[in-house]
């Protein structure tokens, strides 16, 4: 497996782990830690489910909200792991899908940063968001390089029958 492809596979495993850990920490311990490489889509979903807890009557455990958020995040993590596996097997389609998903996720973080700047959020928070975007840009480059590496490879032709 070419180095660019191997790095992309490792990157997707890292993103899956960061996404799952972000979700677990937020849902189970109500503590948000942005691990920089995790997906914005799951962070937004988690925030929605945490917000839904506020409409529960006092004293009621938010089991449904926690469970639903973790199921959604687990499905996304499984999809990332499946894409990583397919890329490791040389799938160009999985590489472009991964690239497009992570590019869209990076754009969502960039939009979030723009909103934060306009909202006059403290500089420390803005710096953290900017660092997250830089990590995401690195991920986009890694996935793009894997895609171009796989795009350049020709598939072996089946031997002709005599």
Segment 2-42, tens digit of pLDDT: 899 999 999 999 999 998 888 888 877 776 776 777 787 78
Dihedral-angle region of residue 69 (phi above 0 means left; psi in -120 to 50 means alpha; beta otherwise) = alpha
pLDDT at 99: 96
Average pLDDT, integer, range 145-152: 89
3-state SS assignment for residue 161? coil
> What confidence category does residue 159 fall into, taking pLDDT thresholds of 50, 70 and 90?
low
CB-CB contact of 126 with 117 (8 Å): yes
Max distance between CA atoms of the chain, in angstroms, equals: 77
Task: Tell me the two tokens of residue 16.
Answer: 């899956």
pTM of the model: 0.81
Distance CA 143, CA 88 (A): 12
Segment 111-129, tens digit of pLDDT: 988 888 888 888 888 888 8
Average pLDDT, integer, range 40-66: 76
């Amino acid at each position: 497996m070419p180095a660019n492809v191997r790095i992309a596979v490792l990157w997707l495993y890292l993103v899956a782990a960061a996404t799952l850990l972000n979700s677990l920490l937020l849902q189970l311990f109500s503590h948000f830690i942005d691990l920089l490489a995790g997906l914005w889509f799951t962070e937004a979903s988690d925030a929605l489910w945490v917000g839904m807890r506020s409409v529960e009557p006092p004293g009621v455990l938010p089991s449904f909200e926690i469970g639903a958020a973790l199921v959604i995040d687990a499905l996304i993590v499984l999809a990332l792991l499946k894409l990583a596996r397919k890329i490791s097997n040389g799938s160009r389609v999985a590489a472009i899908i991964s690239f497009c998903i992570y590019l869209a996720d990076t754009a969502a973080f960039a939009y979030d940063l723009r909103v934060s700047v306009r909202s006059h959020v403290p500089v420390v928070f803005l710096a953290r968001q900017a660092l997250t975007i830089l990590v995401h840009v690195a991920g986009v480059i890694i996935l793009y390089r894997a895609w171009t590496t796989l795009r350049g490879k020709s598939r072996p032709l089946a031997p002709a029958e005599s």
